[in-house]
């Protein structure tokens, strides 16, 4: 008599604990992969906010694809190591935490004209989303500790990851009704666009997206550092590097030996020295684009005297380093800086 009842209770407990376990799993995965950029509670940081206002305008497929594809060249990585169950757990948790549900959009019946959309885009969208849709202003996410042009940086709406994630109805909905809390206006709601105008802009965004280029891969033989052998002795090379840096308007910090602070001061090899330098104006600009640049900067040229007496100059190859951030703005900026760094090293070893 009691056996069916016990089985029923056990089964209920199993489902309850399974559900709790799934919630906990989603929360754990969110904490592990998303919180660093999107903040506790999804308030936003390097990444955009994931507040209820944002979540209630998109469907789950958009969120799933966004996690899987990321935003190539726009900081958000593609989480290819997560399987579909993991991704669904994260999305379920995001829905539960924001108390929102996946939006069911009606299929779009409008056919947009990108030529007409171009004019409308330039009239209504270009101030925030830039000429090419890549987003005006520098950087991503939310302004927290440094002044920037927008409180929430306009996302790149031509990014291939975004366009592959966002269906036309999602784009239409955002243009018509805006995005609360981000500064995005509801252009149909305020009477600036009609249905057809919205569809035309969507068609133009899709057209721009098909022309969008991400940074091409680096050649296979590119090394993580620039290394040059100096024809001079150690002391002359150190002096030459300092002179070249001053000539290039860098502020030079006190030198540090490579092993300084790692070994007893009497054991430190004093023929391995790092000359550290920075241009604060450039640094401030870089931090607006990418708050994590400190993992590489300030720049340092290390000068080593080897056992055979030869002297090497070594510096990070910024072309390689910039790829670790998934940030095309940084890739472009550091490609130019890398040329400057190479020139300084070459000048010091002429």
Partner 1 sequence: MKKFLLAALFLIASSAQAITNDMMMLRMNIKADVAIEYLKSALENRGYSIAHTQKCDGGMQSFGYTTDFYRSIFFGKGAEAREISKAHPDFVSYIPHKITVVAEREETVLSIVNPHVFDRFYPEDSMMLQHFKNWHHDILSIFSDLRAAERAHKLQ
Q: Does 169 bind partner 1 (CB under 8 A)?
A: no
Q: Does 334 bind partner 1 (CB under 8 A)?
A: no
Please choose, out of 90-98, 178-186, 189-197, 316-324, the segment that lies near partner 1 by the rule CB under 8 A.
316-324
Q: How many residues bind partner 1 (CB under 8 A)?
A: 65
Kindly state the greatest CA–CA separation across the chain. 95
**To the nearest whole angstrom, how small is the minimum distance from the Cβ of residue 196 to partner 1?**
42
CA dist 60 and 40 (Å) reads 20
What Cα–Cα distance (Å) separates residue 318 from each residue in 103, 193, 223, 293, 338? 43, 45, 10, 11, 5
CA dist 322 and 325 (Å) reads 6
The residue among 207 and 260 lying less far from partner 1, judged by its C-beta, is: 260
The answer to whether the Cα torsion of 65, 71, 75, 78 is positive or negative is positive
Which residue in 66, 165, 182, 272 binds partner 1 (CB under 8 A)? 272
Which residue in 22, 23, 35, 248 binds partner 1 (CB under 8 A)? 35
* Cβ neighbours around 205 below 10 Å, total: 24
Q: Does 32 bind partner 1 (CB under 8 A)?
A: yes
Residues of span 293-312 touching partner 1 by CB under 8 A? 294-296, 298, 300, 302, 304, 306-307, 312
Beta strand ranges found along the chain (DSSP E): 225-230, 251-252, 256-257, 272-278, 299-305, 311-316
Please choose, out of 55-63, 173-181, 190-198, 224-232, the segment that lies near partner 1 by the rule CB under 8 A.
224-232
Q: Are 215 and 192 in contact (CB under 8 A)?
A: no
Please, what is the end-to-end C-alpha distance for the chain in angstroms? 95
Per CB under 8 A, residues contacting partner 1 are 17, 20-21, 24-25, 28-29, 32-33, 35-37, 39-40, 45-46, 77, 79-82, 86, 144-147, 223-225, 227, 256, 258-263, 267, 269, 272, 278, 280-281, 283-284, 287, 291-292, 294-296, 298, 300, 302, 304, 306-307, 312, 314-316, 323-326
């Amino acid at each position: 008599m009691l056996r069916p009842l016990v089985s029923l209770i056990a089964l209920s407990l199993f489902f309850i604990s399974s559900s709790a376990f799934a919630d906990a799993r989603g929360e754990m995965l969110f904490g592990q992969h998303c919180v660093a950029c999107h903040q506790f509670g999804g308030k936003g940081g390097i990444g955009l906010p994931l507040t209820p206002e944002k979540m209630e305008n998109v469907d789950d497929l958009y969120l799933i694809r966004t996690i899987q594809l990321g935003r190539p060249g726009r900081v958000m990585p593609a989480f290819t190591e997560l399987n579909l169950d993991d991704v669904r757990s994260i999305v379920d948790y995001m829905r539960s935490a924001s108390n929102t549900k996946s939006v069911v959009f009606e299929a779009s019946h409008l056919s947009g004209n990108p030529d007409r959309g171009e004019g409308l885009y330039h009239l209504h969208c270009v101030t925030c989303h830039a000429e090419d849709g890549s987003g005006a202003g520098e950087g991503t996410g939310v302004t927290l500790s440094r002044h920037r042009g927008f409180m929430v940086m306009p996302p790149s709406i031509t990014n291939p990851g975004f366009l592959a994630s966002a269906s036309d109805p999602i784009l239409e909905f955002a243009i018509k009704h805006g995005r609360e809390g981000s500064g995005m206006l509801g252009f149909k709601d305020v009477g600036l666009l009609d249905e057809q105008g919205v569809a035309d802009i969507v068609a133009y965004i899709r057209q721009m997206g098909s022309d969008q280029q991400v940074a091409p891969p680096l050649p296979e033989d590119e090394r993580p550092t620039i290394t040059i052998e100096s024809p001079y002795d150690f002391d002359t090379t150190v002096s030459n590097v300092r002179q070249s840096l001053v000539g290039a308007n860098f502020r030079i910090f006190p030198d540090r030996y490579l092993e300084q602070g790692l070994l007893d001061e009497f054991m430190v090899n004093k023929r391995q020295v790092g000359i550290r330098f920075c241009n604060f104006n450039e640094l401030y600009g870089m931090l607006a684009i990418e708050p994590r640049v400190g993992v590489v900067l300030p720049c340092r040229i290390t000068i080593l005297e080897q056992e055979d007496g030869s002297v090497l100059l070594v510096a990070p190859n910024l072309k390689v380093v910039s790829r670790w951030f998934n940030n095309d703005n940084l890739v472009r900026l550091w490609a130019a800086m890398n040329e400057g760094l190479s020139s300084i090293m070459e000048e010091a070893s002429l």
